[in-house]
Amino acid sequence: MSRDEVAFGFIKVANETVTRPIRSLTEAKGHDTSKHRLATFGGAGGQHAVAMAESLGIRQILIHRYSSVLSAYGMALADVVDENQEPESKTWADDDKGGVQDALGSRIEDLKKRPTQRLQDQGFGNDSIVFEEYLNMRYRGTESALMILKPSKEEADLHFRGDEWAFGKAFARQHDQEFGLTLPDRDIIVHDVRVRGIGKRFKLSEKTVAQKIQESNPKDVTTGQEYRRSFVYFEGGRRETPIYKLKDLKVDERTHIVINIGESDASLPKVGTDNVDPILLSVFPHRFMAIAEQMGRSLQKTSVSTNVKERLDYSCALFDAEGGLVANAPDLPVHLGSMSTCVRIQARIWQDKLKPGDVIVSNHPEFGGTHLPDITVLQPAFSQGKIIFYVASRAHHGKTFGVKEEGEWNRYTNLHEADIGGILPGSMPPHSKELYEEGAAIKGEKLVSEGKFDGERITELLYKEPAQYPTCSGT
């Protein structure tokens, strides 16, 4: 490698390292980075913005005119906030049976009194104080509560038929976005009522970023002002690049940064397998590990058992099409040794039989399992009709259940418990002589088939079949 390639490699690895937490935090909230804009700040933000946006799949970058001092600028314009929050324990009702919405509305109005007084004491008039209203909500029987902001009028008109009190629907929508499922047959519990009072120090523009971009007029600020040309290294090699003096650039609402426009007469090197690119070897582990880490966060957030949510008794990893380990999150390492064996065996058994949306479940020791409560769930990823890799998780499980929605099993999740049947609670009897005495043993079954959860078959595997053996029971 040349000196240019080595230096550029350091920058590339640094960019990928920085994008990893951005991707993780964004996807943890159920958002797709490619549908957002990348805003930069700090003196070096513009130097890395394009490469980072490309890595995140973002097509539009925003650089504030005061980006180099944006933190100080933001502090100067910051609003004054005062919050008031109290616990609650009501069951939400969209149709407001029992007057739940009226009761919560009165509670919210009472909570506004303290922030109002405190903001008035700081010199804010009533016309400068606005409020945000929140309900902290969760499904009954789950532990993951979401703080739901009261829909604005525009959001209510767009998503909830004008109902600004559609907290329940907003909760279901956000739950589906973050966890990939809803539980329509379960009650929604209101845990807390929260009010945020905001004292507006300045009257800022109410136009959105999208509106401002649409109204701005693109213009070439470099016409006729080129100072000289120099060879600058971009990905692919050195290119002759125009240089401009800052004082000669006409900068108003728009400015210029250096971007790689991708125009080069240099031929691309052929892809081979004999030589390993050390730069890509450093870049891709960040991307692969980010996927595995996000799997673990989703598993922990959706779980309801102490084993997974608090003890973190699970592992998540990516495997190639043959079942070889590619990347794993820093979870419980004891699972990883046999997980690859499990994925490799299942990939061989289900070869040419799997379709997009299929999910396989297995815990049998003959097929790469450990003790039976450790259940492995794996799913293939397809490209052009072929499996290119698998994602898999193994956790101390007990039951798996589906969520029935509009007559079809089309969503799934896992309920993690410490028992999977057998002759004793806990599924690890010290005097067992046969495998069936330890609970349900699943060699390999479809948990989900083309996106549809097979609830009947899973019930048979976990509950009915273990109970057929003497002194055994299912769970």
Tokens of 199: 């004292």
115 Ramachandran zone, left/alpha/beta (phi>0; psi -120 to 50) = alpha
The residue ranking higher by pLDDT, 106 or 2, is 106
Share of the chain above pLDDT 90, in %: 29
Output the pLDDT for position 305. Answer: 73
Please, what is the average pLDDT of the chain?
Answer: 82
Instruction: Report how far residue 197's alpha carbon sits from residue 209's, in angstroms, rounded to the nearest whole number.
Output: 24
Which of 415-443 are b and which e, b meaning 16 or more Cβ less than 10 Å from the residue's Cβ?
bbbbbbbbbbeebbeeeeeeebbbbbbbe
Per-residue pLDDT reduced to its tens digit, 255-313: 555 655 544 333 334 545 556 677 777 778 878 888 888 888 888 877 777 777 777 88
The model's pTM: 0.69
Output the pLDDT for position 257. Answer: 59
Are 325 and 315 a contacting pair, CB within 8 Å? Answer: no
In sequence order, which residues have a C-beta less than 8 Å from that of residue 421 and are 6 or more positions away? 427, 439, 440, 462, 463, 466, 467, 472, 473, 474, 475
Distance of alpha carbon 276 from its chain centroid, rounded? 31
Neighbours of 51 (CB within 10 A): 19
Per-residue pLDDT reduced to its tens digit, 333-378: 777 778 889 999 999 999 999 999 999 999 999 998 888 888 899 9
Are 283 and 12 a contacting pair, CB within 8 Å? Answer: yes
In sequence order, which residues have a C-beta less than 8 Å from that of residue 306 and are 6 or more positions away? none
Are 80 and 199 a contacting pair, CB within 8 Å? Answer: yes
DSSP 333: G
| Residue spans per domain, the chain | 1-75, 79-199, 216-265, 278-468
Q: Which amino acid is at 409?
A: W
Are 313 and 44 a contacting pair, CB within 8 Å? Answer: no
Tokens of 84: 């008031």
Q: Which amino acid is at 22?
A: I
DSSP string, 220-265: -S-TT-EEEEEEEEETTEEEEEEEE-GGGS--SS------------
**CA-wise closest residue to 58 among 22, 79, 30, 33:** 33
Residue ranges of the alpha helices (H) in 124-244?
Answer: 153-159, 167-179, 209-215
Pick the CATH number of 79-199 from 3.30.1490, 3.30.200, 3.30.450, 2.30.29: 3.30.1490
Per-residue pLDDT reduced to its tens digit, 67-80: 888 888 888 889 99
The residue ranking higher by pLDDT, 129 or 454, is 129
Q: Compute the C-alpha angle 107/110/113, nearest 5°.
A: 150
Size of the chain, expressed as the number of residues it contains: 475
Instruction: Report how far residue 346's alpha carbon sits from residue 73's, in angstroms, rounded to the nearest whole number.
Output: 56
Instruction: Report how far residue 326's alpha carbon sits from residue 297's, in angstroms, rounded to the nearest whole number.
Output: 19
Residue ranges of the alpha helices (H) in 65-152?
Answer: 70-77, 100-111, 113-121
> What's the whole-number mean pLDDT along residues 191-218?
83
Instruction: Report how far residue 168's alpha carbon sits from residue 93's, in angstroms, rounded to the nearest whole number.
Output: 7
